[in-house]
Amino acid sequence: MPEGDTIYRAAATLNRALAGRSIVRFESVFPALTRVHDDHPLTAVTVDRVESIGKHLLMHFSGGLVLRTHMRMHGSWHIYRPGERWRQNPRDMRVLVATADFEAVGFNIPVAEFIKTDPKRDLTKHASLAKLGPDALDTRFDRDEAVRRLRTRPSSLIADALLDQRLMAGLGNVFKSEVLFSCGINPFVTVAALDDRQLGHLVDTGRKLLQANVTTSSGLTTHSGRRRTTGKDNPAASLWVYGRARQRCRQCGATIDARKHGVDARLTYWCPDCQKS
């Protein structure tokens, strides 16, 4: 599943290509989207901006219409020049938003809906967004609220709690393992077993790692999809533990372990020696 950094970069790329431009073509395989377009053609509006909230991507149009998409496991947005050959099968197209200069194509997107907004309605009150915890990539991120929400799941394994978007939005399976390693915390302890200092350290580290993977040292948005948590440029040494089962820990030399757990049987990677807390 794309994580918060991926969605943030996708939104930044779409915003750079589409914002301020008029729509010349709209297509979708979703009947609900097509009906809205038939009744109120999007070719009469412009793209105001594109942003992300957690793992949700929001495309704002003039007139108060917002397209919300969620990638789930396999969805993605691509940008093409008109006439450029798509890198994925056209049968996988779910949504297409085109301007005179660019085509934004959503492939294999399972969730897409239009939301009608107005100045009196807070978009974050929408049912799919209201339940989200503080967004780790939001400049208004509320650290204390994230810690408070984690505390509401005392019996949850911390590895599961970090994936719960209702507690803190943005972290996914890769960052979950990397954050826990960076903080020296065993993935399989419960939230109740951790004190406020440890929970705060997890929240701070999660935000720090996400931010490091969406901006350059000069503060500009990066569009590179290669994640780094070790600080090393070498692609073979960019992550501490994720995907490295049975390999040596970069820090202590012990063997990295991996285990499936939770409702979706997601893999967690950790170092038994470095993560004893």
Given this model, what pLDDT does residue 220 score? 45
From the first residue on, what is the mean pLDDT of each consecutive set of 10 residues in the chain (277 residues)? 87 96 97 96 95 95 94 92 96 98 97 86 81 94 97 97 96 96 98 97 97 67 70 88 97 96 88 93
Could you say which of 51, 55, 134, 178 is catalytic? 55
Q: Are residues 89 and 191 in the same domain?
A: no
Specify whether 272 is catalytic. no
Query: Which one-letter amino acid corresponds to residue 216?
Result: T
Q: Quick check: 105 and 80 in contact, CB under 8 A?
A: yes
Q: Indicate the residue among 130, 163, 187 that finishes a domain.
A: 130
Q: Are residues 169 and 256 in the same domain?
A: yes
CA distance 244 to 248: 8
Q: Quick check: 174 and 207 in contact, CB under 8 A?
A: no
Q: Indicate the residue among 80, 109, 130 that finishes a domain.
A: 130
Rg (CA), the chain: 20
CA distance 162 to 171: 7
DSSP state at residue 91: G
Specify whether 3 is catalytic. yes
DSSP state at residue 258: E
Could you say which of 3, 51, 103, 178 is catalytic? 3
Q: Are residues 118 and 155 in the same domain?
A: no
Residue 135 lies in a domain: no
Boundaries of domain holding 217: 143-270
Name the region of 250 (left: φ>0; alpha: ψ -120 to 50; beta: rest). alpha
Residue 275 lies in a domain: no
Q: What is the pTM of this model?
A: 0.88
Specify whether 2 is catalytic. yes
Given this model, what pLDDT does residue 120 score? 62
